Structure 1
Amino acid sequence: MDSTMKRLLGVMGLALPLLAGAQQLQDPTRAPAGLTAAAAAAGAVEGEGVPAAPRLQSILIGAAPNNRRLAVIDGVTVTQGGKFADAVVERINDNSVVLRRGKLRETLILFPQTPGGLHASGNKR
Structure 2
Amino acid sequence: MRLLLALLALLLAAAPLARAQALQDPTRPPAELGMVQAGSGETAMVPSEAHAPKLESVLVGRGYTGREVAVIDGKIVRRGEKFDGAVLVRVGPNEAVLKRGGKEEILRLFPQPIEGKRLQARRGRE
Q: TM-score, normalised by structure 1?
A: 0.51
What one-letter code is carried by the residue in structure 2 that aligns with 1:96?
E
The answer to whether the Cα contact below 8 Å between 1:81 and 1:88 also exists between their aligned partners in 2 is yes
What one-letter code is carried by the residue in structure 1 that aligns with 2:81?
G
Aligned to 2:91: 92
1:106 matches 2:94? no
Backbone CA RMSD of aligned residues: 3.7
| Closer, same or farther: CA 24–43 of 1 in aligned 2, 3 Å | closer
CA deviation profile, 1:12-53 (whole Å, cap 9, x unmatched): 2112344443455433343444x36x444x945x4xxxxx34
Give the secondary structure class of the aligned counterpart of 1:14. helix
Alignment counterpart, residue 61 of structure 1, candidates 36, 59, 62? 59
Give the secondary structure class of the aligned counterpart of 1:21. helix
Aligned residues: 100
Alignment counterpart, residue 12 of structure 2, candidates 16, 27, 35? 16
For structure 2, list consecutive stretches of 5 or more residues without a partner in the other structure.
37-45, 113-126
| Closer, same or farther: CA 53–24 of 1 in aligned 2, 3 Å | closer
Aligned to 1:49: none
CA deviation profile, 1:101-121 (whole Å, cap 9, x unmatched): 2421112344669xxxxxxxx
The answer to whether the Cα contact below 8 Å between 1:61 and 1:67 also exists between their aligned partners in 2 is no
Cα separation, 2, equivalents of 1:9 and 1:112: 64
| Closer, same or farther: CA 82–75 of 1 in aligned 2, 3 Å | same
What is the CA distance between 1:75 and its match in structure 2?
Answer: 4.1
| Closer, same or farther: CA 9–64 of 1 in aligned 2, 3 Å | farther
The answer to whether the Cα contact below 8 Å between 1:54 and 1:73 also exists between their aligned partners in 2 is no
What is the CA distance between 1:79 and its match in structure 2?
Answer: 0.9
Aligned to 1:120: none
For structure 1, list consecutive stretches of 5 or more residues without a partner in the other structure.
47-51, 114-125
Cα separation, 1, equivalents of 2:51 and 2:30: 22
